[in-house]
Every structure is written in structure tokens, then in C-alpha cells.
Structure 1
């Protein structure tokens, strides 16, 4: 079975996707409160996370660790509208980045984006450590590419 990482086109394709997506996040009025300024390493970190989730290198875990991601989302108080807009912009970015448009890949990508946005929202609202989502490592996303 081919990994989502390989099917997407590896690091180059995912980096291209994250550049397009991040530009949309920075420009979007709904998401602007969450992304007020461009952070120099954000695209690189998004690329690492997506690559690792999709079966690529484990750079995100080795270089940053999942606790970093939890800290980044804490106390952002992500709204339902922001969570949905994040997913919508991510899906919109796939075509612009030239990623595969087959149904199985798109469904896997959407479920990954929706799950990630849900976990981020959950952690953004957590008042205590016990309130955090139980996920403590980069999830490995699989798919049925038959």
C-alpha cells in the first residue's frame, strides 16, 4: 500500500500545499485572530506535521514534539466557525497545490483535517491539563487506496 505521503507527492508537494494554505490563513478575516502575523517556521512545521501524519519522516516528533503543538493551541479559544473555516481552506488549497484529486485521497485528507481541527479546538479551550484531548503523539493517518 502506498502511503498518503507518497501519494501526495512527498515533501515538495506538501510544502507547496502548506505555503498556499498558510497564505490563506493569514488573509482570512475569520482566522486572522488565530494567525495575526506570519511566523517564519510555520510552513515548515505544518509540512513536517502533515508529512509525518501521512507516513513520511518523523521530523515533527524529533524536532518539536507533540507537546509543542498542544502548547501552540492552548488558550486560543477556537470557535466552531474558525474550526470549519480552517478545514474548508485546507481542502480548497489541495487543488491550487496540484495534489491528487482521487476520491480516496481527498476523503482521507478531509478526515485528517477535520480530526486535527477538532483536537486543536478542544485543546484551545482546555482550562487544565486534565481537560486536554488525550492525543499525545502525531497521529498516523491511513487510507484505503484500492
Structure 2
């Protein structure tokens, strides 16, 4: 059986998805606010590499950009933002449609992964990025959900 990474089109497929998601969030007045301070020039490529690693692909993100601790710290210390999270998930669902990742069960698995990551790991430390522990590894997700 293919990994979720392979079923999503590998690195190229996830790069298309990351670009579509980024375009949608930048156009959203609520989610776009998260990027108002600026973002890395290779944000889309880095996001695609992160998703690839989480979904069973190569460890490019961890090997070259950082670990889960660094990613979670980027998303921490901003207080609760449930509306933003829900809108980011809606943008992701629309981006899946934009790039044609609509066949089941792939669409549902990708949605479930993104919704889980957005509402758990990326929003766990509302008070301060300093609360994020060292040494976190990128959580892995498969057809059956989070892997232990």
C-alpha cells in the first residue's frame, strides 16, 4: 500500500497543495493575519517538506530546517485562536479541491491530519513559545491516523 505521502503525489503534489493553501490563507482576512509579520521566503517549500515528512515521505524538513520544537514554537505564544484555526482548516479543504486531491479516502485522511495538527500540536502552547519542550519530533500520520 502506498503511503499517504505517495498517494498525495509525493513532494510535487504536496508542494502544489502547500502553494494552494498558502494562496488561500493569504486571501483570508482572519488567517492571513498570521502572516502579517512576514514569513520565510521559502515558506511554501518548507511547509511542503514538513507535510511530506509527517505523511511518510523523506525527512528533508528535519534534516535541513529544524525539528518539531522549532515548528511548534513558531505557532506558539499567540493566545487561543480557534476561529483562525477553523478558517485555516477550511482553506486547506478548499486547497485540496484546488489541486484535485479529492478522491477518498485520501481527501479525508489529509483533512484529518491537517485538522489534528492545527488544533493540537500547533495550538498547544498559547501562553508562550518558551513553554514548548526541546527535542520534539515531527509527528507521523498514516492512513490510520497518528502513529506512535
TM-score by length of 1: 0.86
2:40 is aligned with 1:8: no
Which residue is equivalent to 1:53? 54
Superposed CA RMSD in Å reads 2.1
**Whole-Å separation in 2 of the counterparts to 1:133 and 1:115:** 19
Say if 1:25 and 1:86, in contact at 8 Å, map to a contact too. yes
Task: Give the deviation of 1:23 after TM superposition.
Answer: 1.2
Moved over 3 A (4+): 126-130, 132-135
1:28-58, CA deviations, whole angstroms, 9 ceiling, x for partnerless residues? 1011221114531110111011101111110
**For 1:1-146, what aligned pairs fall within 5 Å after superposition?**
1-36=1-36, 37-63=38-64, 64-99=66-101, 101-118=102-119, 119-123=121-125, 125-127=126-128, 129=130, 132=132, 136-143=136-143
**Whole-Å separation in 1 of the counterparts to 2:46 and 2:6:** 18
Structure 1 unaligned residues grouped into runs of 5+: none
Structure 2 unaligned residues grouped into runs of 5+: none
**Whole-Å separation in 1 of the counterparts to 2:34 and 2:15:** 21
Q: How many residues align?
A: 141
Query: Secondary structure at the residue paired with 2:2?
Result: coil
* 45-54 vs 31-40, which moves further: 31-40
Query: Secondary structure at the residue paired with 1:138?
Result: coil
Task: Give the deviation of 1:141 after TM superposition.
Answer: 0.8
Task: Give the deviation of 1:78 after TM superposition.
Answer: 4.4
TM-score by length of 2: 0.85
